[in-house]
Every structure is written in C-alpha cells, then in structure tokens.
Amino acid sequence: MAQRNPLDLNQPGFDPDQYLCRVLKEEALPDLIEHEIELQQQIKSLDSDMQTLVYENYNKFITATDTIRKMKQDFGQMEQEMEKLAGNMSAINQFSAQVTASLDPNRGKIRKLSETHAILKRLQFLYDLPARLQSCLESENYRPAVLAFCKVQSVLESYRHLTAFQQIHADCLEIMGKLKAALYLKFRRKSSTTRELAECIELFTMLKEPAEILCQEFLAHAEIRLMEDLEQLDEQLAWWSDPERRHQAVDILTFVDMGSNGFLSNVCLVVASYNDMFVCRVEMSTDDEESNELAKRKLIFFVSTLMERYFNSAKQRILRETVDSSTCEVYVRALDRFSRRLQAIDRLITETDYSRVGFKLVQEAASLRCRQYLSYLNNEFQSSLVEVRELVSAKPLSTDASQKLLLASVQKIHAKLMERCKTAQADVKAFVQPEVMFANNRSFYDHFCKVDVRENMVVAHFTDMFAASEELCQHGTEKLVGSPLLLLVLSRHYLDLNQSTIGYVMTLTREHFSQDERNVLGIPPTLFQRSKEVAQKLVNHFVHQEGLSISQMIRKSVETRDWLATNEPRNVRAVMKRVVEELTVIDQQVGQLFEEGNRKETGSGSSRRTRPSVVAARSQSRSAKWTNYSPVDTSLLSNIQKLFSERIEIFGSVDFSKVSILTGVIKIGLKTFLECVRLRTFGKFGLQQIQVDSYYMQQYLWRFVSDENLVTILLDEIVSSAVQRCLEPILMEQSVVEAICDRG
C-alpha cells in the first residue's frame, strides 16, 4: 500500500499546518500571493460543482418519491381485482361440478349417438359419391373427384360384396373410367401446358396408373412440341441452303437463339419435369431401383434421338457460315451461346456428355473459319497481283512520270499484305476473348492459336503465296503475257519478306495468340528459305523472259535477212539500236528495285574503243591467211582458241543487283545472236555488217554488265563465227567501222 503524504492536497491524510509551514519557508511573498489566488479559484470551482451535484441528486430524489407514491396506489387497486378474480373462479368451479354431475348418466349415450352420426355421414358420402364424381367430370374439375374416390376406394373394395354397395362401386368405377379417358385426352392435347401435364401425371399416380405407360405418354406428348422446334430449324436451314431464298433465312446468331431458347429450353423443361415426375419420385412406380433405371434409360434414349437431329441441323448451319455472311464477332457469340446452353442438359442428365459434342463442333467451326480467312487472304493476294499487273502494263515505264512506279507497286503489295494479315488476326482473335466460355479451355486455346491461326492461316498463306508465285515461273504459262515486270516486282517483294516482313507478321501473331511465353513457337526457318528461293526463281525467270524478248528481236533480224546479197554497210542496223534501247529501259526498271551491284575493274574508258580494233585486226590477219587454208583448218583453229577462253554460263542464277540482272539478259541475247550467226551463210558485206553491229553493241553494252570481258568474248565469238560462215571473209577497216558507229 502506498505511503500517505501529509503535504498532498488530494490525499486523505493531508495536514494543513505542515503544508502551510513548508509553503512559508520555501516560497517568496509574490509566490504566496499567487498561490493564494489559485487556492481561492479552486475553492470556488469546488463549491460550484458541489451545488450542481446537490441539485441533480435532489431532482432524482423528488422523482423517486413520486414514483413510490404512485406504485402504492396501483398495488392497492390490484389487490382488489385479485380478490374479485378469486371469487369468480370459485363460482365457476361450483357450476362445472354441477354440470358434470348432471351429464354423467347420459355420457355413454351421447358418445354412441356421435359415432352413429359419423357413420351415417360416411354412408351419406358414399351414396352421394357417384353424383359428386359425375358433377366434377362434367365441370372438368378432376382433382376433387380423384381425391374423393381415393379416399373411399379401400372402403368400396372391402364392402363391394354387400348389395347396398355393389351399385355404388360399379357407378364409381364407370365414372372414374370416363374421368381417366378425359385425363388422357387432356394429357395428349397439343396445347396442354407443362403445369397441366404435371397435374395429369399426379392424378394418374393417385389412380395407380402404371408408371411405364405414363412415361411413354409424357415423352410422346413432349416429342410433338420438340419436333415442331426442330422443323423450324430445318426450315431455316433449307432457306439458307437455297440462294434464291437465303434472304428469308435468319442470321447465325438468331438461328442459334432459336435452337437455344426454343428447342434446348423445351428439352431442359421436359427433362426437369420428367425427373420430378418419374425418376425422383419413387411412389410413381414401384419401390425398387429398377423402375427408376428403366425411366432414366427411356429418357436418355428419347433425348439422344432428338439431340442427334439437332446437332445435325446446327452443324450444317454453323459450318455453312462464311466470312461474307457474318462477322467473326457475331459468329463467336453464336458459338458461345450454343456451347453454354448444352451444359444445362448435361447438368440435368448426368449420364450424357453433349457439351463434348458441342465442343468438337466449336473446334471444327473455328478451324473452318481460319481456313475461310486463308482463302480470303489468298484471293486478296491474287487481286493484288491483278492490280499490279494492270498497273505495270498500262504504259511504258521509261518515262519520267513512271520512274518510281515499280517501287510503288512493291509497297502496295506489301501494304495490302500487312493490312490483310492484321485484319484477319484481329477478326479471329474473337475466338480467344476471356468472356468466351470455350476459350477458357486450354486444349482449344492451344490448338486454335498454334494450329488453326499460326499454321493453317498465317504460315499457310505465306506458303500459298509462294506456290502461286512459283506458278508464274512455269514456262509456257499464259499468266505472264504482257507483264514480265510482275516477276521483278514480286521478286523484290519476297526479298523484303525474307528480310523483315515475315518476322514482323509472325511476331504479331505470337503477341495476339500466346498466353504462355515459355511455350512460344519460333518462326519457321522454312519460310525464310522459301521466300529467298521464290525471289531467286522470280528474278531468274525475269532474266529469262527479258532475254527471250531480246533474243526474239535478234533472231528475226538475222533469219529474215539475205546475208549473201547484203549491200555494203553504211549504218548500224535498227534492231541493234532497238536492243540497246530495250536494255536501257530494263536498266531503269531494275534500278528502281535493286541496288547497282559490284563491277569488275578492267581498264580505262579509252580501252573500250581500242579493244575491238584488236579483235578486228586479229580476225583480219587470220582472214588474210584463210585463202591459203582449208575450212577444216579454220574451224580447228577456232575450236583450239575456245579451249583457252573463259567458259561463260549463260542461264545461271543471277544476284539481286542491277548489273547482275542486266548481265544475265545480255548473255542470253548475245548467245542467241551467236547461234543465229552460226546457222547462216554470209557474203563479204554481210560479214562486215555483223562487224559493225558487234562494234556498236560493244560501245553500249559494257555499261550494263558486271564484267565487260563477257561482252567482249561473246562479241568476238560472233564475229569469228561470221568469218567462218563467210564465203569471202574480208573485214572492214577499223576506222571505217568506228566512223559508221559514231554516226549511229
């Protein structure tokens, strides 16, 4: 316990004398005055609190006094009433004793009379029962009639041997037979509602009708209504299948709603009612489990037959939907509603798995939609090819106005490709939205994203593009008539695909259709390889086509001329000028799409004018000696010279550069020139004309090729072959040749 402090004002053991002595010793006069003022204020505050407390307690005391006085008055009245109640209870007990004493001798008689009255009432009910049943039958109020008959049925069965009850029993059975017939008519009526059917089943159950017959009747009645729903769906399907009546058919979403809200809803209602009436209620059949199992089997067979027909109609309608007839969003909403409603039936009939059947149909529809988009992408690509072909074939591309037309065509094909791929992916992304129920199935999501979208739509589109472009490289095809530039444009396009576009499209596909980053498929390397191969085939075929075009001009000019009767050359032949012009146009066209490329360093520009003179001089010196040698010796000399010359590959692959492509075209043209010269016989002036044409070609072709030695070698062979095929092999003076070529 804490020790008491005599100097603490708030303690019970406070000593004022000690406190006063301590204050006088320790504090100065100003402090004493201030302390006095503080004590006075505290005393006033305590006095005020005391007055308030006394006033509040006084009011409570006055109120308590009034309450006690009022209670004394109330208790006085209550005592008087209790005394009065005790007197009344005593009087009641006396009267009750008197009544009991007076009625006791007649108690047994009254009981017997009451029992007799009850029996008479029952007999009266039995005698009035036929009339009551007939009245209920006529008013179609069947429930009271069934309840009344079931109530007395055991009695009538027990006393039917008595004469008084035989007629009543027979009349009741006859009326109840009519009532059962009326109930069956109502049960089989097409317009009967589900509530009316349930009431009929309940009444039949009270009448002990066999459950098996009731099951058959119930399912037969339900089949009529459900078949009407299926016939409506079949009618819509027939309209959709007929192009002339398709405008009368509803869209896919409305069709699915018709099946879900109509047929499937009625199936669920029938199943739920059937379970309540026959499966879950044992009293409707026998008390063994076999009766319930039999009812379940009948229900499953009934539903399975109808669902098979429903799935057949739904499958035909869903799989006949195209990209043009409905948007992908509407199509997915229809599939989602279709699959959701099937789960309700599976919950009612646990032995079935219609959700799995619907899921397979949804998977098939998703795969089909991706294939439809693949067809759409391929058709759009073919349309792009047609547009580009018309664009590049509209007018010659050598004018300044069309200087960048080929590059614009490549950009157009690329832009349309990106637009198509983005549009298709954005549309089919509706299949994997979180709110779509089947998209949450992992197997569906993985198969749809990796197989349907990635492989069967995106990768397949690239593959089909490659195949369609390769068909353009087939010799003899009529697709390239008037449009060899399409080959050049596509070659540049596929080269761009290889360098960037394929990677971008596949990355975009991965971002849109990938949830698990750890299980992401990479870009197929075959796409890069195939795009490079197709680009190479296209540019090679372009070189071949342009080379053939140049060759055709040269071949006709050689074959249609009489080289033995040719006049002395005064000009370069027009076909050679035309060849140079065509090569100049090709150079401009290829330069729009491909870089210049590398050239082999040879000599200065002045050597290009002197080199042909060496060839001419060598040929002229040989020709001076050919008068002393036989033709066999000349041919042998030419063949020996070819053994030591560089071998030139005419139809080899070219690089993706301007000089390489032009070199390939020129090699084909000069090779054709060479072969045509070898097949002709020349006179003196014919040989000199070939000499002039070759020198003219040498002057202009060097700027187009990667190695001008190739041109020099081929032209040298052309002149040499003309010398060998000439009857009078005399070449023109080099100065004269140069003068003619300078006049052009």
Distance CA 206, CA 199 (A): 11
Token pair of 227 as six digits: 């078949």
Angle at 519 between CA 328 and CA 463, to 5 degrees: 55
Complete DSSP assignment for 592-628: HHS----------TTHHHHHHHHHHHHHHHHHHHGGG
Contact in structure between 602 and 678 (CB atoms under 8 Å): no
Hunting for tokens 């305590």 — which residue is that? Answer: 46
Single out the residue of 439, 418, 546, 401 nearest to residue 493, CA to CA: 418
Distance CA 236, CA 250 (A): 7
| pLDDT tens for each residue of 188-215 | 776 666 677 777 777 777 777 777 777 7
Single out the residue of 290, 288, 264, 284 nearest to residue 347, CA to CA: 264
Distance CA 697, CA 677 (A): 15
Q: What is the 3-state secondary structure (H, E, C) of 81-97?
A: HHHHHHHHHHHHHHHHH
pLDDT value of position 107: 65
Distance CA 516, CA 442 (A): 11
Beta strands in 267-408, from DSSP E residues, in sequence order: none
Distance CA 563, CA 685 (A): 8
Q: Is 434 helix (H, G, I), strand (E, B) or coil?
A: coil
Single out the residue of 327, 424, 317 nearest to residue 365, CA to CA: 317
Complete DSSP assignment for 241-254: HSTTTGGGS--HHH
Complete DSSP assignment for 672-701: HHHHHHHTS-B-HHHHHHHHHHHHHHHHHH
Q: Is 726 helix (H, G, I), strand (E, B) or coil?
A: strand
- By CB atoms closer than 10 A (0-12, 13-18, 19+), residue 67 is exposed
pLDDT value of position 556: 92
Distance CA 23, CA 551 (A): 137
Distance CA 407, CA 11 (A): 108
Distance CA 615, CA 251 (A): 81
| pLDDT tens for each residue of 326-376 | 788 899 999 998 888 888 888 888 778 888 988 999 999 999 999 999 999
Distance CA 563, CA 723 (A): 12
| pLDDT tens for each residue of 492-507 | 888 888 888 888 888 8
pLDDT value of position 515: 60
pLDDT value of position 312: 92
| pLDDT tens for each residue of 500-541 | 888 888 888 888 887 655 445 567 788 888 888 998 889 899
pLDDT value of position 365: 92
pLDDT value of position 53: 81
Contact in structure between 579 and 550 (CB atoms under 8 Å): yes
Q: Which residues of 219-253 are buried (b: 16+ CB within 10 A; e: fewer)?
A: bebbeebbeebbebbbebbeebeeeeeeeebebbb
Q: List, for the chain, all residue ranges whose pLDDT scores fall below the cut of 70.
A: 1-4, 9, 76, 103-110, 113, 115-129, 153-157, 159-165, 190-194, 280-289, 291, 394-403, 475-483, 515-522, 601-648, 744
pLDDT value of position 4: 67
Single out the residue of 605, 578, 564 nearest to residue 690, CA to CA: 564
Mark residue 597 as left, alpha or beta (left: phi above 0; alpha: psi -120 to 50; beta: remaining). Answer: left
pLDDT value of position 364: 92
Token pair of 315 as six digits: 């499958």
CA dihedral over 43, 45, 49, 55, signed as positive or negative: positive
Q: Is 396 helix (H, G, I), strand (E, B) or coil?
A: coil
Residues contacting residue 267 through CB under 8 Å, at least 6 positions apart: 226, 303, 306, 307, 345
pLDDT value of position 63: 80
Single out the residue of 365, 284, 279 nearest to residue 317, CA to CA: 365
Helix 658-678 vs helix 708-724: crossing angle, to nearest 10? 10
pTM of the model: 0.67
Contact in structure between 410 and 493 (CB atoms under 8 Å): yes
